[in-house]
Structure 1
C-alpha cells in the first residue's frame, strides 16, 4: 500500500469534513438568519437612518449566520454578541478619536477589541468588523458622534431578540444552558457515572492543556464525549435490549389499592416499587417504598380538641405520575445513566404503549456481568 506523500496530505487538509447537520436544519438556519438580519437592519434604519444601518450591515450579517446556523457554539451565545459589540464600540470610538479615521487606527481597534474580548469571555468574530466600522462611521456626512454606538447596540439587541424567539420556536434551544447534575441523595459524592471514566474536571484540564480557543461550549463537549462513550459501549456489548433482561411476571396494583396492601406486596415480593394500572391496564403511575412509608408516620390533625377524621389515602393519591419509562428495543447501554445517576431503582418497559415488563438495577448488573464474561471467553 502506497503511503500518501506529505504534499498530498497537506492538500487533503484543505478539504472539509462531511457536515453532521441535515438539509432541514440548513433551511431553518437560512430562514432565521435572513429574517433576523432584515429586522435588525430595518429597525436601525428607522431610528438612525438607512445609510448608517447599511454601514454596519456587514458584521451584522456575519453575526446572523453565527446566531442562527451555529447557535450552540461558544461564539454565538448572548454574552458573546453583546459583550463583543460593546467592547468593539468603545475601542473604536476611543481609537478613532485619538488616531483619526485611518486604516492604521482601524487595524489597531481590531487588535485591541480582540485583546479585550478574550478575558471578558465574549469572543465574537464580527466584533472585529464592528470596531473597523465604528472607526470610519463619523466620516459619514450628517452622522453625530454618538449615533454609531447606539446603532451598534440597537442592532445587537434586535438580532439577539430574533435569535432567542426564532431558535426556541423552531426547536433549537437557545441560549445553551449548563447541564445540572442531579443529586438524588443530597451528598457531596459525585454521581455514579462520574466516579469512573471521564469527569468534567478532566475536560477542564484537557482544555487548559490545549490552550487554544475551541468553538464549542464545555457542556456540549462533555455531552459529545459521554455520547461517544455510550455508543462505544453499545458496540462492545452487542445487541442486548431491555426486552431481553427485563422481568415479565409483574406485580402491579390499582389506584384504589390501600397503603397496607401496597406494603404487603412490596415486602412479600421484595420489591422497591409498584406500577399502578388503571381499569384498562394502562400504566398511570408508580409507587415506591418511600412513598408509602411517609403517610404511616404522619399524625392526624386536631381541631377543637378532637381528632379530625380523614379518609385513608390510596395508592392513587401517592403515586408518581407521569412515569419515566423505556421500551423493549432500548439498548441496555442507554439505561445505565438513567438507573445509576437519577435515583431510579427500576423502569417500566412498554411495548405498543402497554406495560410488558420492569427492568431494575439488578437486571442491569446481570446484563453487564454477562457482557464481561463474554469478553473473557
Structure 2
C-alpha cells in the first residue's frame, strides 16, 4: 500500500473515532424517539409552568438547564444521573446552593466558581448527582435581575416545578413505550430468597468489580449493579458465540425430551396437578387436538386459580429444533423459566428442554470448553 492510501486510511480511522456514537447500544431509531420525547417534554414543562403562574412569557418559568435534564432522561434513562431523585433533588439542591452563594459572596467570578463546585459537593453528599444542577447553580449567580429578584423562591419555582414536570412527563412517555423508568437493575431473585440469582453466581464477584473500578481510577455513568449484570451477559454471549457453529455444542433436537407430558385446554386444574406430581415435573405444555402449542401451565399457575387449564395457562418460551442449545442459557437462568418448549414452524409440539437437560449438556461440553480455552 502506498503512502497516500495509508494517509487516507488514517484519516478514516480518525473520523471514526471522532464521530462514532459515544453511547453503547444507541441506535438512530432510539435517538429519533428520544428527540420526539424531548420536544414534547420541553413544550409540556413550559406550558404547564406558564399556566400555573398565569404568566404570558413562557421562558421566564422555563429555565435553560431543564433542556439538559430532558436530554439525560430521554437519551440515557438508565443512567444514575437521570433518575427522578437525581433530576429533582440535584436541580433543586443546586439552585439553593447558587442562591446562598449569590447572597454571601459579592465577587461575581468567585461566586460563580463556588456555586458550581459546591453544588457538585452537596449533590454528591445527597446522592443526587445531576450535571445540569451545576448550570442551575451558575444561573442563580449570573442569571440577571429576573432570576435574582426571585430570591430563595427560585429553587422551588421554577426549578423544582420544572424538574418535577420533566420527570412526570418522562415516566409517562417511557411507560407508553413499555420501557422501565425509573431504572432498576433488571435481575432480581425470582424466588424471593436471600440467594444470589442463578445467573449472578460464579465468575467475578462484587469485590472483583470494586477492585477493577479502583484500579481504573475513573468514574463511569453506570451503577455497579448494572455493570455486574452487563459483565454476566457478556460472559454468556461469549460462550454462545464461541460455540454457535454447532461443531462443539448440540442443537436443541439433540438434547430435548421427546416424550412430553401435556394437557388439553379443556382439562381441569386437578388433572393437570396430578400429572405434575405423578411425573415429578414443573410445567405442562397445553396443546390442541392437532398437537399445536397453546401455552403452558405449572404449579405456580395452578395455585393461583381453579378451573379449566385454558384459563390458567401462560405463554412459554419456545425455540426451534435446529437452534443451538446454548442459546437457551439466558432463558433457563433467568429464575422464572424452568423449561423451553421446542416447536416446528407451525408451532406443533416437538419436545421440551428443561434446566436439567441443559445442565447435563453443559456438563458433557466441559472437556470441549477446556480444550478450546487451551488452544
Q: What TM-score, normalized to structure 2?
A: 0.77
8 Å Cα contact 2:50/2:61 also seen in 1: no
Matches of 1:118 and 1:335 in 2, distance apart?
Answer: 42
The Cα shift of 1:101 comes to: 7.1
Matches of 1:347 and 1:179 in 2, distance apart?
Answer: 21
In structure 1, what is the equivalent of residue 341 of structure 2?
Answer: 348
- The 1:146–1:354 alpha-carbon spacing in structure 2 relative to 1, beyond 3 Å, is same
In structure 2, what is the equivalent of residue 307 of structure 1?
Answer: none
In structure 1, what is the equivalent of residue 259 of structure 2?
Answer: 249
Matches of 1:235 and 1:354 in 2, distance apart?
Answer: 28
Matches of 2:269 and 2:151 in 1, distance apart?
Answer: 77
- What SS does the corresponding residue of 2:363 show, helix, strand or coil? helix
In structure 2, what is the equivalent of residue 125 of structure 1?
Answer: 131
Structure with max Cα Rg: 1
- What SS does the corresponding residue of 2:350 show, helix, strand or coil? strand
Q: Count residues with an aligned counterpart.
A: 350
Q: Please list every run of 5 or more consecutive structure 2 residues that lacks an aligned counterpart in the other structure.
A: none
The Cα shift of 1:222 comes to: 2.6
Q: Please list every run of 5 or more consecutive structure 1 residues that lacks an aligned counterpart in the other structure.
A: 295-312
- What SS does the corresponding residue of 1:118 show, helix, strand or coil? helix
The Cα shift of 1:117 comes to: 0.9
8 Å Cα contact 1:71/1:174 also seen in 2: yes
The Cα shift of 1:264 comes to: 7.0
- The 1:214–1:364 alpha-carbon spacing in structure 2 relative to 1, beyond 3 Å, is same
In structure 2, what is the equivalent of residue 339 of structure 1?
Answer: 332
Paired residue for 1:275, among 269, 282, 285?
A: 285
- The 1:231–1:170 alpha-carbon spacing in structure 2 relative to 1, beyond 3 Å, is same
- What SS does the corresponding residue of 1:156 show, helix, strand or coil? helix
Matches within 5 A, 1:176-325: 176-184=183-191, 188-200=194-206, 202-207=208-213, 210-238=216-244, 239=246, 240-254=250-264, 255-256=266-267, 263=274, 267=278, 271=281, 273-286=283-296, 316=308, 321-325=313-317
- The 1:273–1:155 alpha-carbon spacing in structure 2 relative to 1, beyond 3 Å, is closer
In structure 1, what is the equivalent of residue 319 of structure 2?
Answer: 327
In structure 2, what is the equivalent of residue 32 of structure 1?
Answer: 37
The Cα shift of 1:60 comes to: 1.6
Matches within 5 A, 1:80-95: 80-95=86-101
The Cα shift of 1:318 comes to: 10
CA deviation digits over 1:14-56, x for unaligned, max 9? Answer: 6354453222111111111122122223333442856683586
In structure 1, what is the equivalent of residue 356 of structure 2?
Answer: 362
Paired residue for 2:110, among 97, 100, 104?
A: 104
The Cα shift of 1:265 comes to: 8.6
Paired residue for 2:366, among 350, 363, 372?
A: 372
- The 1:263–1:235 alpha-carbon spacing in structure 2 relative to 1, beyond 3 Å, is same
In structure 1, what is the equivalent of residue 159 of structure 2?
Answer: 152
Matches of 1:362 and 1:57 in 2, distance apart?
Answer: 58
Paired residue for 1:67, among 61, 65, 73?
A: 73
- The 1:287–1:69 alpha-carbon spacing in structure 2 relative to 1, beyond 3 Å, is closer
Matches of 1:59 and 1:107 in 2, distance apart?
Answer: 17
CA deviation digits over 1:196-254, x for unaligned, max 9? Answer: 11344543454455453211233332332122111101022233443442122333233
Task: Name whichever of 191-200 and 101-110 sits farther off.
Answer: 191-200
